[in-house]
Amino acid sequence: MATVDLKDVRKIYPSGVEAVKGVSIAIPDKELCVLVGPSGCGKSTLLRMIAGLETISAGTVAIDGKVVNAIGPTERDIAMVFQNYALYPHMKVYDNMAYGLRNRGTPKDEIDSRVRSTAKVLELSALLDRRPRELSGGQRQRVAMGRAIVRNPKVFLFDEPLSNLDAKLRGQMRIEIKNLQRSLGVTSVYVTHDQLEAMTLADILVVMNAGLVEQTGPPLDVYEKPASTFVASFIGAPPMNLLALTGASPSSVLADGTVIGLAPRLGKAVTLGFRPEDADITFAAEAPAGALALPATVEAVEPVGAESFLHCVAAGSRIVVRVSGRASAKPGDQLRVVARSEKLHWFDQAGKRVD
């Protein structure tokens, strides 16, 4: 129903702290954009600026092609789901959902039909007469969602909505949010620090760090081609293994002097990375040609069931290798970690990707 366009948005607090240092994102109609990053990266501030809860120090925020910098949250026609739900404790579920509509002067019978149909979608029909404190965490979460949906806004804003739920419920609600968002076709901005949530929900993934956007793109693109060492280590669990390179021909010598079986490829690269699932282990002395073969010592084995994670020490750094099924290695084993060269990622001095 609406696009959201951020152009060089900045937030400078009166104390001089610059929380958001120039962010530009274009979110197409009906898409779900996830802002992900560690705490303090400015993602929540950015969301609050889109909501109109925080003033915009510089740049513009446009909703549906209209710059909204100067107008308040009410007129922006957005709905927000808060981390702690922010339900009105003294109001029944019905009134919680109807409150926004009442304030906008919607006719009574329309409010009633909208609240009841939304409640039906969210399976809240039986709870309409309860008060928030009589609901479980998951139910409160639904009411918070319902309060947003019932208004039929141009944009949904989610501020870490699942962080107070237990793991199982979180997974369930994640799918529900995704389905709802898709079926309602409302442009959404979703803030989270959980990279799994970000990967599974996003149409567009925006990775933020220290007030700046590190990378924007479809989640799998971000996963496969991380633009920086920060993104590489933030997206993916366990994160990408990163090894520092030194020496005259930096691409081939690791920090501890180990020469790896790879020809120097890119002169600028100072960091080498590979994902745990892109690596394998071998006990063979001969390294396969054209692949990274890293002598490593197994420190610990984590069997998860369908897969196992081997925590190894190679060239003085800790690395993780994922092997499917049960691992054949055990702690203390000496082996080689092998990764095909097309699965390797190279990063330069500034941590930027080099291809």
Q: Which is nearer to another protein, 22 or 100 (CB)?
A: 100
Q: Which is nearer to another protein, 53 or 244 (CB)?
A: 53
Stretch of 107-115, 128-136, 172-180, 226-234 contacting another protein, by CB under 8 A: 128-136
Query: Which of helix, strand or coil describes residue 16?
Result: coil
> Whole-angstrom Cα distance, residue 243 to residue 246?
10
Contact 124, 115 (CB under 8 A): no
Instruction: Work out whether 83 is an interface residue with another protein (CB under 8 A).
Output: yes
> Contact, 280 vs 294, CB < 8 A?
no
Output b/e per residue, 95-112; b: 16+ Cβ within 10 A: ebbbbbbeeeebeeeebe
We find the least distance from the C-beta atom of residue 207 to another protein, in angstroms, to be 25
| C-alpha count within 13 angstroms, C-beta hemisphere, residue 204 | 20
- Residue 276 tokens read as 């745990």
Site string for another protein, 32-71 (x = CB under 8 A): -------------------xxx------------------
Please identify, using beta-carbon distances, which residue of 150 and 281 lies nearer to another protein.
Answer: 150
Q: How far is the CB of 72 from another protein (least distance, A)?
A: 7
Of 92, 116, 131, 311, which one interacts with another protein (CB under 8 A)? 131
132 touches another protein by CB under 8 A: yes
Angle between helix axes 108-121 and 93-103 (nearest 10 degrees) is 130
DSSP label at residue 287: P
Going residue by residue from 90 to 109, which x/- string records binding to another protein, judged by CB under 8 A?
A: x--------xx--xx-----
The residue ranges that bind another protein (CB under 8 A) are 51-53, 72-74, 78-80, 82-90, 99-100, 103-104, 131-133, 147, 151
